Every structure is written in C-alpha cells, then in structure tokens.
Amino acid sequence: MPEMLPKPKHLGPEYASQFADPAVVAAYHHRPPYAPGVFLVLRDLIVGEPRTVLDLGCGTGDIARPLAGVVDFVDAVDCSAAMIERGQTLPGGDRPNLSWIRRYAEEVPLPRAIYGLVTAGESLHWMDWARLMPRLDQISRWWNAARRYVRRGSMRCKRSSNATPPIATISRTT
C-alpha cells in the first residue's frame, strides 16, 4: 500500500468525539438528506451474494436504514452510543436485517468475513486511515475495485484501472 499523508489535526479524535454530544445528536436531523438515487446506485454496486453492506461511521443510519430495505444484511458501525440509540428509533432503524454495532471502525469485531459493499458517508475522514484501509482490503469484495465514499447529494469515486464500468461512469460524471 502506498504511504499515506498524515491526517490534518482538525480531523483528530478530539474533534470526532463531538458526535457523542447529546446536543449534536439532537441536531443531527437538520443535516441535508442523501439524494434518493444514491441508494439505488449503492444497491447496484454491491458485489456477490448475499448482498451485505458494512456502513462505517453510520451515525443515525442515514445510509444503513434505507439500504437495509433493499439488501440482505447491513452492519452499521459507530462509536457513538447516542447516535446509534437515535438511529434505532428512526424509520427503518428496527429492521431485522440491520445490526447496530457500537465500536470504532478500526477495531470492530465484524460478524461477517466479507462484505459486498463498504460505505462511510461523511465519516471516513474521522477514522484512522492507516489502520482502517488495510482491513478494508481484507473484508470487502468491492473495496479493491474502487476506494470510494459517499457524500450527501453526490457520489465521488477515485478512478481505478480495474474499476467496473458503473464506477468509472460515476467518477467521470461528478
């Protein structure tokens, strides 16, 4: 794996911990929602069967909850108990195929050995990249094709020589 640049200081754990603050959790629903088309694209990007998704830094499940309606399993991981507790009360938060896991993404014991898709909507920047990226190479069928993340309202994909045509198309159109 190529050497990574150091993370900027403002993306450190002391800033990420604000998402456990009850006031931040209470205001979280004011963030702009993901465009509905994002979930169809994510569904179609899943590789293999069963159709499994790992949503890292899930917060209240803005990605996990809708995806659980169109895939076999979603494991939603967040280090904030308050975010998970709130997500469980929101529409789709109690789906039987949605597992909420309170841990840091870099160290969570995962219930599945492999995932068809890994998402980290507006959260990847808070994580320890040096510890997380090698782990994603091991657990994701899709991650090796194109390291990507979702941003609200649009999708950005890093170009990859072995990206599948839909991924390459998305990266050219954004």
**DSSP-derived secondary structure for 70-91:** TSSEEEEEES-HHHHHHHHHST
Q: Identify the CA nearest to 81 among candidates 15, 36, 19.
A: 19
Q: Are 84 and 90 spatial neighbours (Cβ–Cβ below 8 Å)?
A: no
Q: Per-residue pLDDT tens, the chain, 174 aa: give them.
A: 567 677 777 777 777 777 777 787 777 887 888 888 888 899 888 878 889 999 999 999 999 999 999 999 999 999 999 999 999 999 999 999 999 999 998 888 888 888 888 888 888 777 887 888 777 777 776 544 444 443 343 444 333 334 444 433 443 344
Report the domain count for the chain: 1
Residue 1 lies in a domain: no
Other Cβ atoms closer than 10 A to 74:
29
Which residue has 């169109």 as its token pair?
Answer: 70
Amino acid identity at 32: P
Residue 4 lies in a domain: no
CATH code at position 45: 3.40.50.150
Residue 137 lies in a domain: yes
Give the domain extent around 123.
Answer: 9-173
